[in-house]
C-alpha cells in the first residue's frame, strides 16, 4: 500500500498491529477519525495512554482495577471463603453479569498451554495455592473454558490444593438454555445426562 502521507502511514501501521485489524480496516478507521472533530482522536489517545499507565491489577485476585484492592475483593458483603478461578478479566465480567455469584474471584491471566509457550509459572497459580493453604478458603470453583488447556489448568491446580481439605467444584457443563437437543454434540449431551440434577432445583434458581 502506497501512502501519500508518512503520518497517515504511521497511524495505519500502529493500528494494524492490533489483533484482527488489517491495513485496510486500519485505514478506514484513521480516515473516519480525520472526518470527526479533533477531540475524538484526543480523547481516544488520552484514554488509551491513561489506561495503560495507571491501571492496576488487584493484588489479591489479579483482576483489573483502579486501586490496589479491587471493588469485589474489598466488598464486605461478598463471601470471601468461596473463590472462583477464571482465565481472564472478561470471565469475571461475564459471571458478574449473571448476578448469580456472591463469592470472590481469582484471575489466572491465561491457561496452561505448551503450544503457546504458557507454563504454570507465567500464571497466577502460586498466589491461589497459598491463599488456599492459608486456610481462609472453603471452596474453589473452577470456571475455565471447557477445552484441553482449560482442563489441564484445572487439573494442575486441583493436584496442588487437593490435600487442603476444601470443596472443589467446577461450573456445570450441559445443554445451553434455548438449545435444541438434536444439535447438541454427544459429549455435552452425555455430560448433561450424567450430571443431571433434581428437577426441583431447576425451579429454585429461576
Binding site for a copy of itself (CB under 8 A): 1-8, 10-11, 13-15, 17-21, 25, 27-34, 38, 40-55, 58, 63-66, 70-72, 88-90, 92-93, 96-97
| Residue closer to a copy of itself, measured from CB, 116 or 169 | 116
| Residue closer to a copy of itself, measured from CB, 33 or 189 | 33
Helix, strand or coil for residue 65? Answer: strand
- Sign for the CA dihedral angle at 18, 20, 23, 29 comes to negative
157 with 131: CB under 8 angstroms?
Answer: no
Helix, strand or coil for residue 139? Answer: strand
| Residue closer to a copy of itself, measured from CB, 15 or 83 | 15
| Residue closer to a copy of itself, measured from CB, 3 or 156 | 3
Instruction: Provide the pairing of β-strand 56-57 with 64-65.
Output: antiparallel
How would DSSP label each residue in 142-179? E---SSHHHHHHHHHHHHHHGGG--EEEEPPP-PPTT-
| Residue closer to a copy of itself, measured from CB, 66 or 79 | 66
The cell numbers describing 47, all together, are 484514554
State the minimum distance, in angstroms, from the CB of residue 48 to a copy of itself. 5
Rounded to the nearest 5 degrees, what angle is found at the Cα of 118, between the Cα atoms of 97 and 23? 75
Amino acid at each position: 500500500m502506497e501512502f501519500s502521507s508518512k503520518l497517515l502511514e504511521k497511524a495505519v501501521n500502529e493500528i494494524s498491529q492490533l489483533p484482527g485489524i488489517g491495513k485496510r480496516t486500519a485505514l478506514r478507521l484513521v480516515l473516519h477519525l480525520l472526518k470527526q472533530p479533533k477531540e475524538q482522536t484526543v480523547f481516544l489517545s488520552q484514554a488509551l495512554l491513561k489506561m495503560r499507565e495507571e491501571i492496576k491489577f488487584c493484588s489479591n485476585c489479579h483482576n483489573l482495577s483502579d486501586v490496589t484492592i479491587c471493588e469485589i475483593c474489598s466488598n464486605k458483603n461478598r463471601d470471601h471463603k468461596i473463590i472462583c478461578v477464571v482465565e481472564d478479566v472478561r470471565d469475571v465480567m461475564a459471571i458478574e453479569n449473571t448476578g448469580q455469584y456472591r463469592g470472590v474471584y481469582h484471575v489466572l491471566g491465561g491457561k496452561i498451554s505448551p503450544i503457546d509457550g504458557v507454563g504454570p509459572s507465567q500464571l497466577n497459580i502460586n498466589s491461589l495455592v497459598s491463599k488456599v493453604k492459608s486456610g481462609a478458603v472453603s471452596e474453589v470453583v473452577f470456571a475455565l473454558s471447557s477445552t484441553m488447556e482449560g482442563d489441564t489448568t484445572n487439573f494442575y491446580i486441583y493436584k496442588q490444593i487437593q490435600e487442603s481439605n476444601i470443596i472443589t467444584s467446577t461450573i456445570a457443563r450441559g445443554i445451553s438454555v434455548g438449545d435444541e437437543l438434536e444439535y447438541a454434540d454427544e459429549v455435552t449431551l452425555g455430560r448433561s445426562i450424567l450430571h443431571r440434577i433434581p428437577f426441583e432445583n431447576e425451579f429454585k434458581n429461576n
